[in-house]
Amino acid sequence: MSDYVYDLAKKHHSVRKFKPNAIHREVVKKLIEAGQMASTSSYLQTTTVIGVEDVEKKEALKEVSGQPYVLENGYLLVFVIDYHRHQMASNKQDVNLESSFESAEGLLVGTVDASLMAQNIALTAEDMGYGIVYLGSLRNDVMRVREILELPEYTFPLFGMAIGEPAEDEAGTPKPRLPLDHVFHIDGYSHDEQQLEAQIETYDETVSNYYKARTNGERTETWSEQTSQFMNSKQRVEMLEWLQISGFNKK
What's the rounded Cα separation, in Å, for the pair 200 and 228?
A: 13
Q: Closest by alpha carbon to 43, among 80, 78, 77, 85?
A: 85
| Comparison of 24 and 175: residue with beta carbon closer to ligand FMN | 175
CB of residue 93 to ligand FMN, shortest distance in Å: 34
CB of residue 168 to ligand FMN, shortest distance in Å: 18
CB of residue 133 to ligand FMN, shortest distance in Å: 5
| Comparison of 17 and 102: residue with beta carbon closer to ligand FMN | 17
What's the rounded Cα separation, in Å, for the pair 168 and 132?
A: 15
User: What is the contact surface with ligand FMN in residues (CB under 6 A)?
Assistant: 12-14, 16, 67, 133-137, 159, 175
Beta strands of the chain (E only): which ranges? 47-52, 75-82, 131-135, 155-164
Q: Closest by alpha carbon to 158, among 103, 85, 108?
A: 108
| Comparison of 88 and 171: residue with beta carbon closer to ligand FMN | 171
| Comparison of 102 and 130: residue with beta carbon closer to ligand FMN | 130
The answer to whether the beta carbons of residues 129 and 11 sit under 8 Å apart is no
CB of residue 100 to ligand FMN, shortest distance in Å: 25
Q: Closest by alpha carbon to 50, among 120, 154, 166, 145?
A: 145
| Comparison of 102 and 203: residue with beta carbon closer to ligand FMN | 203
CB of residue 1 to ligand FMN, shortest distance in Å: 26
CB of residue 12 to ligand FMN, shortest distance in Å: 6
| Comparison of 28 and 122: residue with beta carbon closer to ligand FMN | 122
What phi-psi label fits residue 234: left (phi over 0), alpha (psi between -120 and 50 degrees) or beta?
Answer: beta
- Can you list the pairs that 225-229 forms with residues at least 24 positions away whose Cβ atoms lie under 8 Å? none
